[in-house]
């Protein structure tokens, strides 16, 4: 029987995604400082935070394998966060209209005192040119205030794009399941 499995996240999106793999798991809140380090690139930040989240929970649950994931949206070479408000979402979407945004998702599967298993996914989103009225209609419909980039690609947000380039369609939602399944198989879990 494999070790218990924990998801080091309180994200409802990641929890919903992980259920697709059919493995029993519990959720634990990682107490991790998510402040970027000076000069830290978005890709490095995403990977560092994924490892830190998994390690923090693994230290408290040494018998379990822990999944940590973090996503950083990169626009014009800088990380962009969750808008937090209607005004923030309107401003983010207006700035990204007709432009590309990279979403870097860091992933770590870790067990206390063992070398972590890691992966990274990069998804590029191309926004179509959006009018102010379209942005307002979208923001009022989905209120994506807790989503970096101010959209929910699994919902109406998909209508904001010209294209999405990714090797894993689940990565943009916050947990790349192709890489997660691969790392869990490496950790000894039975998956197809």
- For the question of residue 168 being annotated catalytic, the response is no
HEC assignment per residue over the chain = CCCCEEEECCCHHHHHHHHCCCCCCEEECCCCCCCCCCCCCHHHHHHHHHHHHHHHHHHHCCCCEEEEEEEEEEECCEEECCCCCHHHHHHHHHHHCCCEEEEEEEEEEEECCCCCEEEEEEEEEEECCCCHHHHHHHHHHHCCCCCCCCCCCCCHHHHHEEEEECCCCCHHHCCCHHHHHHHHHHCCCCCC
Q: Among the options 26, 33, 70, 168, which is catalytic?
A: 70
Which amino acids are annotated catalytic?
70
């Amino acid at each position: 029987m494999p070790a218990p499995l924990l998801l080091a996240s309180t994200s409802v999106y990641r929890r919903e995604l992980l259920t697709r793999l059919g493995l029993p798991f519990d959720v634990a809140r990682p107490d991790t400082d998510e402040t970027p380090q000076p000069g830290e690139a978005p890709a490095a930040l995403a990977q560092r935070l994924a490892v830190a989240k998994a390690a923090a929970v693994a230290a408290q649950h040494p018998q379990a394998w822990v999944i940590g994931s973090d996503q950083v949206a990169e626009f014009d070479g800088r990380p962009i966060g969750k808008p937090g408000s209607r005004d923030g979402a309107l401003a983010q979407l207006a700035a990204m209209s007709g432009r590309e945004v990279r979403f870097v998702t860091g992933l770590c599967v870790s067990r206390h005192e063992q070398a972590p298993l890691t992966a990274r996914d990069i998804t590029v989103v191309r926004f179509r040119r959006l009018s102010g009225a379209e942005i307002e209609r979208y923001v009022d419909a989905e209120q994506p205030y807790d989503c970096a980039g101010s959209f929910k690609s699994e919902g109406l947000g998909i209508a904001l794009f010209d294209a999405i380039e990714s090797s894993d369609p689940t990565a943009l939602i916050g947990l790349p399941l192709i890489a997660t399944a691969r790392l869990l198989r490496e950790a000894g879990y039975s998956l197809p």
